[in-house]
Structure 1
């Protein structure tokens, strides 16, 4: 049994495994292997290809191509041994491409520290999931960081891999994770990676273009089901979706801000300097621990809507 034979079983199984067990870090993980491949290719490519941008393009092509080919080959080879083996491999690769539970668990550490009255611990926990400096943040700013992280990563950590999983199976989802990993490792605008990581950063933008906007729409639809404002989500999504340095991240953040009735964005400190970012949303409600709980519900609600909508389409086309 391959993905093509039972896509619904693979997707539902992967989503349930992610929700119940989270990321299986104790088992061999494709993303770890992808990271090692990227690290092993950087120096040889830089030596062989003097033009850093061309070398970066080759890194992108090799990494994504190898990731897709290996995933597809593993599923195919396992299915030749036994249909159940092919299904199991497809299920595992689909499972490790999803990250809703991990996003929830990591961000929850921040709020748990606040609930314990330990502001320094909350700042440390937040520093693991955001790029800004956190050492001097007060509770509302810590909450803002956690909410922004969950909102943004609902797009590229939850909806995007699920989108590619239902679109092209586990191999395509793993290829997307390769793009994501490339961006996180070499997609920086510093001296070392400005040219070498250019292709990876731009391709990550392309890969997330549709999923980011889909995430915004899913949040609008999920908001009333989660006890939040669907109208607010739609209004702020349309108004502030482009108020972000990223061409994609603003859409889920805007929809979340509108649904929650809060303002995101604004001033952040990076390397000792204050960076003023455009604001997203209106301050109708204060940023609180309840805000964080609501954005987590919104994340899961958006994921559930995508799964339900896809299953309905599969059933419709089978009729």
Structure 2
């Protein structure tokens, strides 16, 4: 437990300091390549659900086997080697700095009134069509991405890693990566990606709600945000999304910032009528991207301290 706590803290610090440099090999990209290869091998229109289920099982089996083998070998060599390897694995699982860095590219472009650059930057982090977005739409898209990925990319992987080490952390990341690649409700993936999408919903059910509550708490501690309104909008709008989890954090963020998020958006050239989240107490502005990132970082620190405190309590007992 002591080794795990040291590695858990070290991985978090490395992520905050280093992020995800493009030149650095990344296990999540390897998992993505594995999913692509398995999809080429397994995809058929016939028995699509069963084949998608097999893809999920194979992806998770390979991911867990490799992650556990690397970790066991490292600790077998020496406990210090194990701590170093576990720290690096934990670092790869988290995406705190990367989320902030990529979303702030949007903010910086909007600050310079460079709408085209902002559209391009936001297109790198969202799934919707961005070619026709105005400055408000661009800012909203970036804010929603930070709000949603605060759970998927920071809090959920942190919780799973705290609970079961990097092996369970990579298990979660594999599920989340499968959902982002094949979890779409279109002609190709409607049945093939169902197993991946449902498993992702299950794994994110509790973390998304914990993350939303942390947003409410942190919003109450900041003079620029409203904890009272965050709680109000969270309770009212947290199910205004087809996903059972996505609107949890988006509603808390919308309330905290006193803005309205979501609403109709274009995906793959087709307009999707999505309900709004929050109240338009004031207009959305690019500075809100900076504010939501500040909240996201506070939530990450809050969760890290909570996880370490629980682990320390268990260790003492």
For residue 312 of structure 1, report the CA deviation from its aligned partner. 2.1
- What residue in structure 2 maps to residue 288 of structure 1? 285
Which residue of 128, 151, 168 maps to 2:147?
151
Residue 5 of structure 1, CA deviation: 4.0
Pick aligned residue for 1:31 from 28, 31, 41: 28
2:12 equivalent among 11, 15, 31: 15
Structure 1 residue 201 corresponds to structure 2 residue 214 = no
Deviates more, 1:22-31 or 1:189-198: 22-31
Match of 2:250 in 1: 253
Q: TM-score, normalised by structure 2?
A: 0.95
Matched, 1:73 2:83: no
Task: Confirm or deny: 8 A CA contact 2:175 2:200 kept in the other structure.
Answer: yes
- State the aligned residue count: 315
Which residue of the other structure, out of 129, 134, 141, is the alignment partner of 2:130?
Answer: 134
TM-score if structure 1 supplies the norm length? 0.94
CA contact (8 A) 1:79 1:85 kept: yes
Match of 1:114 among 95, 110, 115: 110
1:41–1:274 distance in 2 versus 1, CA, 3 Å: closer
Runs of 4+, deviation exceeding 4 Å: none
Are 1:186 and 1:193, in contact at CA under 8 Å, matched by a contact in 2? yes
Task: Name the CA distance, whole Å, in 1 between partners of 2:133 and 2:40.
Answer: 39
8 Å Cα contact 1:225-1:301 kept in structure 2: no
Distance 1:224 1:118, change over 3 A: same
Task: Report the CA distance between 1:219 and its aligned residue.
Answer: 0.7
> How far apart are the structure 2 equivalents of 1:46 and 1:158?
31
1:57 maps to what in 2? 53
1:41 matched to which residue of 2?
A: 38
Larger deviation, residues 14-23 vs 269-278: 269-278
1:226 corresponds to = 222
Unaligned runs of 5+ in 2: none
How far apart are residue 110 of structure 1 and its match?
Answer: 0.9
Contact 1:253-1:280 within 8 A present in 2 as well: yes
Q: Is structure 2 residue 238 aligned with structure 1 residue 241? A: yes
Asked if the contact 1:159/1:303 (under 8 Å) is kept, the reply is yes
Deviates more, 1:23-32 or 1:105-114: 23-32
List per-residue Cα deviations over 1:109-156 (Å, max 9, x = no partner). 111111112111111111111122222222122111111111011111
Within the candidate set 107, 120, 124, 1:124 is matched to 120
2:160 pairs with 1:164: yes
Q: 1: CA distance between counterparts of 2:189 and 2:132?
A: 29
- Uncovered stretches (5+) of structure 1, i.e. residues with no partner: none
